[in-house]
Structure 1
Amino acid sequence: MAANDEQTRDHGQDPERRTQFADLIRKRRAELNESLATFAEKAVDPVSGVRVKRGVIYRLESGEPVTPPGVEELRAWAAACELPLEALQDAAGQQFHGVDPLRSGSAEATAYVRKLDRVPADQRANLMRLIDSLVPPEE
């Protein structure tokens, strides 16, 4: 038993257990005042038809281990939550991958950054030069 305790301490769970995605789902289901069954019925990806099953929702909300959702599952969660996909992506990134979402002083700046990856590399370089000419880079 002592060996198992030592293994858990050395290689086990992260001391900072992240629950942002589970918290968001639990909170949103409560706000919508929906039963687990009703919420699960709505958890369907409108693009692919992939569903999030009731058991997965229950396990997530109860803190049991779940497989991190892919984009199809995230779209299904977003449909059930009636929230933008990005909100679910941010929470899932925090909980499952330790990635904190972009925080900015304005929603406009966040929207720019979200679109930036779709701009070709050469245009991103031009855009950065333009931004640097307007607001000099910090040293």
Structure 2
Amino acid sequence: MLSAAVATPAIPAPGRSVADQPRNVLGEPLEICGCEPLTGWHRDGSCRTDGSDLGRHTVCCVISQVFLSYSSSQGNDLSTPMPAYGFPGLKAGDHWCVCAARWLEAHQDGVAPAVRLEATEHTTLEIIPLELLRQAAHRA
């Protein structure tokens, strides 16, 4: 399995060439966010999106316990496993594609998790300014 910490370019979506693969917020090819647990709207490890992703799961985050508690208090329990959906539940340190609007809300409330810019899809910039993302950039 791929490690979430390894800089790995995302595999182009079916029907796409490497030249038109999704870009990150830095304008570079989108890297894999996390594979253990497998994240992304398409459950391919990438925070790429399409029109079917109404929540815009485009922000690659290094999940914190503070964010997990916050998310649960907002009605989105990400810690509890849901075997019926193949969801193991998240823990602090996991890399996960978070909804852009939820991340911005968490940022405004002072609890946003760190962001992996290289694995955050460029359409995130329609919701979150790059400067905010840079301020929250994960530093390994």
Q: Please give the TM-score of this superposition, normalised by the length of structure 2.
A: 0.28
- Choose between structure 1 and 2: higher helix proportion: 1
Larger Rg: 1
Q: Please give the TM-score of this superposition, normalised by the length of structure 1.
A: 0.29
Q: Select the structure with the greater relative contact order (CA < 8 A; seq sep ≥ 6).
A: 2
